Amino acid sequence: MSKKILLEKASIPGIKTYEVYRQNGGYASVEKALKSMTPDEVVEEVKASGLRGRGGAGFPTGLKWSFIDKKSGKPRHLVCNADESEPGTFKDRFLMEYIPHLLIEGMITSSYALEANLSYIYIRGEYMWVYKILERAIKEAYAAGWLGKNILGTGYNLDLYVHCGGGAYICGEETALIESLEGKRGNPRIKPPFPAVSGLWSNPTVVNNVESIAAVPWIVNNTGAEYAKIGIGRSTGTKLISASGHIKNPGVYEIELGLSVDEFMNSDEYLGGMIDERPLKAFVPGGSSVPVLPANLIYKTANGEDRLMTYESLSDGGFATGSMLGSGGFIVYNDTACIVRNTWNFSRFYHHESCGQCSPCREGTGWLEKVLHRIENGHGREEDIDLLWSIQSKIEGNTICPLGDAAAWPVAAAIRHFRDEFEYHVRFPEKIKNRDHFVNEPFEKVRHLVGKQTV
């Protein structure tokens, strides 16, 4: 049974309300930090915890905090990234919906560490009902004296606002988010300067994911050293995973990092195995942006080691044989799933969501979508597969923000691991046009028609 840090209290009846949250130890980290720690001591504690950003990139949170410019005399800001638009990822919503005061407590303790007096939660526009839950919780926190002027009589002031997002995936990229928060179109900025130097209104700003901020109260209450004991190696602590697809128990899970993929996938405590006992075909461990892996690379790495739910193990072997933990959007496919259709679906999303600033992304995502669409609809040409490979390789690394990479990686991985499936689409268009593939005829059974995998 994994230790619970974030969701431990989420099922307590009434925990959404301030009274119940407080009765169950809520806001203790604010008391401890403000009354007995300096801001820099809080930063050191978070550094010691080894906590890595839960928004996808896994950058160490304490280190990021230590970059914030406290000497310029400019106001500082903490911005919570609650934009959560990555397909397959729905863990931040769960946390904010069921235990909103944990995020608010984390925002206060973290803002204190950064010596910020004005902070924001930027929430995905479609999460309107969660926005309302947060608004109510913030109102309660103000009424109880945890926000506003002279908090707990310590002289520390903090105002916290929830800002409803612009309704675009790109607004989750931290600099686009800052632009959007400033009231502009959410176009990513060129870095450097990084937000820690020049962020919101050119002030030093830290942008952190909901889950990263929600881990801070536990770290402050229990020490960073205790947090670092949970997990394995450089993957410390717990992680929220949103699981979907052909599994028996989809949902949001809090796991200790280091759990094996096998146990997560198959034990009744977690996903409970494949629905209808059908064979496992592929999985995406970290949301639509990360590479898909075929069945033979899911439970074991290419070296034959157990694949673990850690940053390191999931990326073992680089993109040739690994993927990424990413945002923890765990999507599972059985043998009836069509990888080409899935890849086209993801590409459609990235094309729609590209902000259009950089030509390789603006044009390239459109081409990816177009070529995938014709292959998926039985109009593909043999050379289209190499064309797809070429297009994705020209997007990756050639854009201001990583949305271009996010669009390229799923296509590259699908071709790398499932090229024969693309070839099948091209060579048997009638089956494809009749939608007679995979759903009625699992791919394993038709693989011989395509021949040997070529990549």
Ligand X SMILES: Cc1cc2nc3c(=O)[nH]c(=O)nc-3n(C[C@H](O)[C@H](O)[C@H](O)COP(=O)(O)O)c2cc1C
Whether residue 192 has a cis bond before it, omega within 30° of 0 = yes
Of the candidates 55, 106, 204, 237, which one interacts with ligand X according to CB under 6 A?
55
Q: Please list every residue from 408 through 427 that binds ligand X, using CB under 6 A.
A: none
Residue of 370, 355, 455 whose CA lies nearest to 406 = 355
What is the DSSP-derived secondary structure letter of residue 424?
Answer: H
Residue 357 binds to ligand X (criterion: CB under 6 A): no
C-alpha to C-alpha distance for 257 and 230, rounded to whole angstroms: 8
Tell me how many residues contact ligand X (CB under 6 A).
Answer: 25
Residue 286 binds to ligand X (criterion: CB under 6 A): no
Of the candidates 10, 48, 57, 295, which one interacts with ligand X according to CB under 6 A?
57
Residue 195 binds to ligand X (criterion: CB under 6 A): no
Query: For residue 178, which amino acid is it?
Result: I
| 21: Cβ contacts below 8 Å, ≥ 6 apart | 9, 15, 27, 99, 101, 102
Query: To the nearest whole angstrom, how small is the minimum distance from the Cβ of residue 206 to ligand X?
Result: 8
Site string for ligand X, 142-181 (x = CB under 6 A): ---------------------------xx-xxx-------
**Is the CB of 55 or the CB of 360 nearer to ligand X?**
55
Query: To the nearest whole angstrom, how small is the minimum distance from the Cβ of residue 351 to ligand X?
Result: 13
**Is the CB of 352 or the CB of 433 nearer to ligand X?**
352
C-alpha to C-alpha distance for 346 and 348, rounded to whole angstroms: 5
Query: To the nearest whole angstrom, how small is the minimum distance from the Cβ of residue 165 to ligand X?
Result: 9
Q: Please list every residue from 292 through 351 that binds ligand X, using CB under 6 A.
A: none
Residue 208 binds to ligand X (criterion: CB under 6 A): yes
- Nearest-5° angle of CA 313, CA 316, CA 321? 130
Residue 101 binds to ligand X (criterion: CB under 6 A): no
Of the candidates 26, 53, 62, 364, which one interacts with ligand X according to CB under 6 A?
53
Residue of 213, 135, 122 whose CA lies nearest to 176 = 122
Query: For residue 291, which amino acid is it?
Result: P
- Nearest-5° angle of CA 21, CA 24, CA 29? 80
**Is the CB of 12 or the CB of 57 nearer to ligand X?**
57
Site string for ligand X, 209-248 (x = CB under 6 A): x--x------------------------------------
The helix-helix angle for 210-222 and 39-49 (nearest 10°) equals 100
Sheet holding 238-245, edge to edge: 251-256, 238-245, 329-334, 280-284, 293-294
Contact 419, 455 (CB under 8 A): yes
**Is the CB of 65 or the CB of 443 nearer to ligand X?**
65
Task: Please identify, among the stretches 3-11, 76-84, 144-152, 424-432, the one whose residues bind ligand X according to the rule CB under 6 A.
Answer: 76-84
Of the candidates 37, 274, 324, 403, which one interacts with ligand X according to CB under 6 A?
403
| 57: Cβ contacts below 8 Å, ≥ 6 apart | none
Query: To the nearest whole angstrom, how small is the minimum distance from the Cβ of residue 174 to ligand X?
Result: 4
**Is the CB of 50 or the CB of 172 nearer to ligand X?**
172
Query: To the nearest whole angstrom, how small is the minimum distance from the Cβ of residue 252 to ligand X?
Result: 15
Of the candidates 113, 290, 339, 401, which one interacts with ligand X according to CB under 6 A?
401
Contact 82, 123 (CB under 8 A): yes
Rg (CA), the chain: 23
The residues facing 294 across adjacent strands are: 282
The residues facing 329 across adjacent strands are: 242
Sites of contact with ligand X (CB under 6 A): 53-57, 59, 61, 81, 83-86, 169-170, 172-174, 207-209, 212, 401-403, 406
